Amino acid sequence: MKIIFTLLFALFMTQTNAQQNDKLLRHVVLFKFKETSSAADVKKVEDAFRALPSKIKEVRGFEWGTNNSPEGLAQGFTHCFFVSFASEKDREVYLPHPAHAAFVEVLKPHLDKVLVIDYWAGK
């Protein structure tokens, strides 16, 4: 009986550790662009952000898109970029990374507002 309990406990701990290791740190970035920025300016920003995962190995996942909500609650934010990391340490590498800094320089002339939220994904 003691062996069965030990095996079940070990199985539970293995599953718990696997689930914790599967968690990802999500970095959500929303942009509101200046009214003076052209479609070409915005495309340049999109392209620069989309290039980051190929330049920064710590990025585990990446998605992006533009708002299409019918609710009218976006407050002028039009773009969402969703970057995933395996750890806070990976995010610490990403934020000051030279490729990220170069992206920010492309973004700055066109940015009206930004909203950033980071969270550990839960199920």
Q: Over the stretch 26-75, which tens digit does the pLDDT of each residue have?
A: 999 999 999 999 999 999 999 999 999 999 999 999 999 999 999 999 99
CA distance 58 to 100: 12
Tokens of 105: 């320089």
Which pTM does this prediction carry? 0.80
pLDDT band at residue 9 using 50, 70 and 90 as cut-offs: very low
Contact 114, 76 (CB under 8 A): no
For the cut 80, the answer to whether the pLDDT of residue 7 exceeds it is no
Mean pLDDT of the chain: 88
Contact 66, 116 (CB under 8 A): no
Please list the helix, strand and coil fractions of the chain in percent, rounded to the nearest 5, in that order: 45, 30, 25
